[in-house]
Amino acid sequence: MDPRSLTPALRALRLCLHLLTAGLLGLVVLRALTGRTDEPAAAVVAVAAAMGVVYAAGSLIGAVRSTRVGAACWLAALGAVWAVLLALSPDGVWLAFPLYFLLVHLLPVRWALPAVAVSAGAAIASYVGHGAPLNAGAFIGPLLGGCVAVATVLGYQALYRESESRRRLIEELIATRAELADAERTAGTLAERERLAREIHDTLAQGLSSIQLLLRAAGRDLPADSAAAAHIERARATAQDNLAEARRFVRALSPPDLAGGSLAAALERLCATAHGVSARCTTSGTPLVLPTPYEVALLRIAQSALGNTVRHAHARRAEITLSFMETSVALDVVDDGDGFDPEHPEHAVSGDGGFGLPAMRARVRALGGTFTVESAPGQGTAVAVTLPLPLSSGGGA
């Protein structure tokens, strides 16, 4: 009866259980009042009413719904009253069936199964002790009811766990899809910014620079005190101001994280600002000029991997390695943290399935590269990215 588990189906089952218990208690009272049994009617009615009160209290006491100890104490009290009812009337055997459901639902399996067995034994003993004939039916009924209750509750719990697992998976997929969409929008924005910066630099800025040089040359060929020379000087100053403005546009359109220098410098700054872990960045090979989407993807992957190391891995050291090779560029992020099973990344931490690995893999796949993760519980994690160099990146930086 944990309120966190109350799906619509479980609410319906709980309501049916309440109605079944109330109906069986009412039937016991009715048979006692109509004189269909030889037991003292007043005592049976009083104990049945007491059992109803104890049962109703379980729905009102918060500890019963939220703690195992509270549930165990309530079940013990309910079982004690039920045992008294069994001693007074054989009709109390009917209440064993709802009691089975309560035991299996509220107690751990290792406690619930023995409790169901004890309850079935008490029902059989009461049935036989009140003079019922000793036959197979006296044993099969309570035992079969217990088996049905155990199978029903355990089966529902298994279905519920599977449903929750699928729900978490769907939420993870939705979150990953949103992250990928955001990454695609960011990549498109960065690519457009790069294109605009390149166009401004190659056309407007170069044109203004040429105009400035031509006006300066024309001004040297004119007398310094002529009106034409003054106009040319003002035109040259205007061109110079516009050139400076165009260069500011180019700088403003550059990716913010990479505006302060190269990708290697951005990775150095990332390691310097990492809190809770000793991070170091090394660069090997001859640095090359990479397209902006390459630099952005590698920087974002390094940020995400190092962020996972800080938040989840409980690592002491992490190392980022940027390697420039003849036909490719590689990024490796290694830590000495807790590690996880790459086949089941959703089990690494609760509620954060995958550490953002699908987003990293999608970034790399979009650029035609390879993405691998090597990890094991207790053995740290290594994230490796390799991107093929475009043909236009062959020169040194």
Across the chain, which distance is largest between two alpha carbons, in Å?
135
The DSSP H or E segment spanning 284 is: strand 278-284
**Residue range 210-258, pLDDT digits in tens:** 888 888 888 887 777 777 888 888 888 888 888 778 777 766 666 566 6
Which residues, including other chains, have CB under 8 Å from residue 207's CB and lie 6 or more apart?
none
Per-chain mean pLDDT for the chain:
79
Tokens of 228: 């034409």
Question: Which amino acid, one-letter code, is at 80?
Answer: A
319 three-class SS: strand
Confidence check: pLDDT of 95 > 70: yes
Can you give the pLDDT at residue 347? Answer: 45
**Residue range 298-309, pLDDT digits in tens:** 988 898 888 888
Tokens of 219: 């001004």
Can you give the pLDDT at residue 351? Answer: 36
Can you give the pLDDT at residue 202? Answer: 65
**Residue range 98-122, pLDDT digits in tens:** 888 888 878 888 888 888 888 888 8
| Higher-confidence position of 322 and 110 | 322
**Residue range 343-366, pLDDT digits in tens:** 765 544 433 434 467 878 888 888
pTM exceeds cut of 0.75: no
Whether the CB-CB separation of 244 and 191 falls below 8 Å is answered with: no
Can you give the pLDDT at residue 387? Answer: 93
Q: Determine the length of the chain.
A: 397
Can you give the pLDDT at residue 3? Answer: 44
Can you give the pLDDT at residue 370? Answer: 93
Confidence check: pLDDT of 43 > 90: no
> Which among 389, 180, 372, 198 has a CA at the least distance from the CA of 295?
389
Confidence check: pLDDT of 394 > 50: no
Can you give the pLDDT at residue 372? Answer: 92
**Tokens 């001693």 found at:** 87
Distance from C-alpha of 109 to C-alpha of 198, rounded to nearest angstrom = 68
What's the N-to-C CA distance of the chain in angstroms? 66
Distance from C-alpha of 383 to C-alpha of 319, rounded to nearest angstrom = 11
